[in-house]
Amino acid sequence: MSFAEYADCIREGDVAIVYLSHDSMMPVKVQRGAQTQTRYGVIRHSQDLIGHKYGSKVSCSKGWVYVLHPTPELWTVSLPHRTQILYTTDISMITMMLELKPGSVVCESGTGSGSLSHAIIRTIAPSGHLHTVEFHAKRAEKVEEEFVEHRVGHLVTVRNQDVCKEGFGVSGVADAAFLDIPSPWDAVVHAKTALKRQGGRVCSFSPCIEQVQRTCAALTDHGFTELCTIEVLLQVHDVRTVSLPLPDFGPDSDTNEEQNQNQSSPASTTTIKTTTTPREIPGHTGFLTFATKPRT
Amino acid sequence: MADNGEDDSQYKMREGDYVVLKRGDIFKAAQIQAKKKVIFEKQWFFLDNAVGHLYNSTFEIHGGQLQPKKIAVAEGSTDSKEAAGVDNRNIVDDGKSQKLTRDDIEMLKEKGLKGQEIIQQLIDNSSTFRDKTEYAQDKYIKKKKKKYENSITLLKPSCRILALMYHGREPGKICHLRYDTLAQMLTLGNIHAGSKVLVFETCAGLVLGAVMERMGGHGSVVQMYPGGGPVRAGVDSFGFPAHFHNTLHEFPISRVNALLAGTLDAAGKGPSADEQLTNAEEEQPQPAAEQQGSPEELSVDTSTADADSRAPEEREKEKRREAKEQEKKQRLDEKRKKLATAAAVLEGRNADGLVIASRFHPCPVLMGLLPLLAPSRPFVVYSQYKEPLVECYAKLKEQGGTVNLQLTNTWLRHYQVLPNRTHPMLLMSGGGGYLLSGTTVAQGPSKPSKAAASQSTEEPAPKRAKTVDTD
């Protein structure tokens, strides 16, 4: 197992995702002799996980769970939050608009909880590299541990420094740079430095429009082109079978007795398959501003 | 502009390269071919001059030739910005504010004036320009620039640019798959280097190309195709290096049942196989065959009508025909070999991902291809319409073998960000299509204690009740 490479069977040391239900998943570090408690009962790693195939069903005392191969997307919905994180909808757009692919060299700041980092690493493997900067020492340390545990440590360098003051720690090597920090306009110059002299793409994620405006101004000042600010929202549709009652208008006076007899027991409901949207949905995550660094 | 570094070679355009032309927000894919005329945005020109220049270079069109544009540092020159009005209370639309007539403008164009110069003329001859607000002036210039500036930029193709291009130019060809939806597909499908991905698409090859780009030539892609042969026009536009194509396999969807039943004659020895292959051949010749094959065929036909006046030429033709036949046989063998390879790739039923985006009803496609996936692998199905995906969802719930099902679509909103003029551009709700995604799981047997499929179809009650607390 690795977050950038599929395996069939669960081995000791793997990180597996235990699937309890659609909105309840937990990552588990597989260790011989270890046990994991879930609300469906206990999972004994030696018997229930090691040597079994990913995707198999594990019986617990009060039900069953599935154990899934880790992916950046499953990790995003199950990771321990140390910060606000980016979700798959925004991550997808960032990945495509930054033109990430195997071999890309990417700079990112801040690392935060590593939600986006895992997705970037997956995309740029096996030959790319992620340089990620996190100014919070504890978080930087923790996320680095996770990368090693997820067997992608060789694809990423974590630097504990302030990107606004000290930059990304590399220059002229990146194909793309990503900023998710409170004052991205202060880091635009560093993004420019980090990007290849032949040019590259940059993205900044900000929740507030004032941040976007300052960032766009800074990008323009530093000669970035093709500025584009977008917002992507996910709409989820829950599939439901619903019954709609039919009103009873009483006997129809126009029709004769016989027909009335036939209508005496009309179906009082009709059933349809449809979708509903959750009562409340995330209406805003952040604005994504993209730009191109032209060749210098 | 120190552009003489030796690492620049890969950034330079060469003959035969696939490029994307850009003018404003309009894109068009093209190939750089010597003396080949290209028509773009009502202008025609040759791309020959682009050879040797760097990608992302901007050119001006003069007499059908591309001329590198000098980099105007002060692009939004502010020489005319001194005078500006405060509001529009005194501006009347009498249709006479522009002193130049249509003919005048045509004349300026014919004189070969540069776009910038025409715009300056228009500004100078507009009686209301100076009364417009600074913002309105900006807008005016921008609008005129769009119309009269005849510069184009040549870009290196990428998934982002081609997805934008197709959505803007030919949404019908890609089943109205919007680029943000395509982005979701690639992520939800966990497309990455080293995996084995099945793709079924009728999106001109855009989805296939996008998948291939994300795999970077590592692993394998099997294109499941309907009809006579795979459509890959969009893939060509990506301009992938040759080794990418070694990882691309093709398999006719019409033989999936045989494959699943184990009755597929992968070696292609059976008569039915032969027939199918020849049919395929005729319906959809390979691009290479199309280029050199058909004109030859034509010439052969006409020559038979001719008397055998020129014997040596006739013999030559005979030889060519033989060669052609040989070639055809070779192609058939090739095709057979390809089918066998693809079948071998699929044999293990251990594919790592499945991406479907077609004009076909997604339900049978999904049900037919899902058995080829290994457990714990993602799949993603695109449809322009929601209802067929609702059907898919219900069917999957019924038969089990999948978890984490999600039916979604995305909204995309663009913003204009300018000092004091920031606002959303346009709402793009709907029209971008819908996605059904999920993860495969093993069906029962590993735990014999768990009974029947019926139990696995519906999640137990306590789990259901949980669906309220979304995060």
3-state secondary structure chain A: CECCECCCECCCCCEEEEEEECCEEEEEECCCCCEEEECCEEEEHHHHHCCCECCCEEEECCEEEEEECCCHHHHHHHCCCCCCCCCHHHHHHHHHHCCCCCCCEEEEECCCCCHHHHHHHHHHCCCCEEEEECCCHHHHHHHHHHHHHCCCHHHEEEECCCHHHHCCCCCCCECEEEECCCCHHHCHHHHHHHECCCCEEEEEEECCHHHHHHHHHHHHHCCCEEEEEEEEEEEEEEEEEEEEECCCCCCCCCCCHHHHHHCCCCCCEEEEEEEECCCCCCCCCCEEEEEEECCC
DSSP conformation class of B86: S
Q: How far is B113 from chain A (nearest CA, A)?
A: 26
A59, amino acid identity: S
pLDDT given for residue B146 in this prediction:
76
Interchain pair A21, B213: CB under 8 A:
no
Find the closest chain A residue to B421 by CA distance: A213
pLDDT given for residue A141 in this prediction:
96
Interchain pair A64, B447: CB under 8 A:
yes
Distances (CA, A) of B383 to B40, B181, B198, B406, B431: 31, 10, 17, 13, 11
β-pairing verdict for A200-206 and A287-293: antiparallel
pLDDT given for residue B406 in this prediction:
96
Q: Measure the CA–CA gap between A292 and A285, rounded to whole angstroms.
A: 23
Where residue B293 falls among pLDDT bands split at 50, 70, 90? Answer: very low
Contacts of A294 in chain B (CB under 8 A): 56
Interchain pair B192, A289: CB under 8 A:
no
pLDDT given for residue A260 in this prediction:
55
Where residue B151 falls among pLDDT bands split at 50, 70, 90? Answer: confident
Interchain pair A295, B54: CB under 8 A:
yes
- Per-residue pLDDT of B436-471, as tens digits, reads 999 999 986 454 333 333 333 333 444 443 444 444
Contacts of B216 in chain A (CB under 8 A): 101-103, 127
Three-state DSSP state, B207: helix
Interchain pair B463, A21: CB under 8 A:
yes
Pairs of CB atoms within 8 A across A/B: 214
Q: Specify whether the CB–CB gap between B265 and B273 falls below 8 A.
A: yes
Tell whether ipTM is more than 0.85: yes
Within 10 Å of residue B168's Cβ, how many Cβ atoms?
Answer: 13
Q: Specify whether the CB–CB gap between A55 and B440 falls below 8 A.
A: yes
Q: Measure the CA–CA gap between A73 and A31, rounded to whole angstroms.
A: 23
Find the closest chain B residue to A231 by CA distance: B413
Binding positions of A: 113-116, 134, 162, 180
Contacts of A181 (CB under 8 A, 6+ apart): A109, A110, A163, A164, A187
Optimal mutation site among B179, B192, B409, interface A, most CBs of chain A within 10 A = B192
Residue-by-residue pLDDT tens, chain A, 296 positions: 899 999 999 999 999 999 999 889 999 999 999 999 999 999 999 999 999 999 999 999 899 999 999 999 999 999 999 999 999 999 999 999 999 999 999 999 999 999 999 999 999 999 999 999 999 999 999 999 999 999 999 999 999 999 999 999 999 999 999 999 999 999 999 999 999 999 999 999 999 999 999 999 999 999 999 999 999 999 999 999 999 999 988 887 766 665 555 555 566 899 999 999 988 888 899 999 999 999 87
Interchain pair A21, B184: CB under 8 A:
no
Q: Specify whether the CB–CB gap between B355 and B211 falls below 8 A.
A: yes
Which pair of structure tokens corresponds to residue B77?
């020159």
Interchain pair A275, B422: CB under 8 A:
no
B56, B193, B406 member nearest A295 (Cβ): B56
Q: Specify whether the CB–CB gap between A204 and A293 falls below 8 A.
A: no
Contacts of A238 in chain B (CB under 8 A): 407, 467
Q: Specify whether the CB–CB gap between A155 and A104 falls below 8 A.
A: no
Find the closest chain B residue to A20 by CA distance: B463
Interchain pair A237, B434: CB under 8 A:
yes
Where residue B76 falls among pLDDT bands split at 50, 70, 90? Answer: very low
pLDDT given for residue B292 in this prediction:
40
pLDDT given for residue B289 in this prediction:
39
- Per-residue pLDDT of B8-39, as tens digits, reads 778 889 999 999 999 888 999 999 999 899 99
Interchain pair B415, A103: CB under 8 A:
no
Q: Helix %, strand %, coil % for chain B, to 5?
A: 45, 20, 35
Find the closest chain A residue to B4 by CA distance: A198
Contacts of A22 in chain B (CB under 8 A): 403-406, 467
Q: Specify whether the CB–CB gap between A177 and A106 falls below 8 A.
A: yes
B264 pLDDT above the threshold of 90: no
Contacts of B1 in chain A (CB under 8 A): 295-296
Contacts of A173 in chain B (CB under 8 A): none
pTM listed for this prediction: 0.85
A71, A101, A232 member nearest B190 (Cβ): A71
Torsion of CA B312, B318, B319, B324, to 10 degrees: 150
Contacts of B188 in chain A (CB under 8 A): 73, 88, 92
Q: Specify whether the CB–CB gap between A146 and A134 falls below 8 A.
A: no
Q: Measure the CA–CA gap between A293 and A274, rounded to whole angstroms.
A: 46
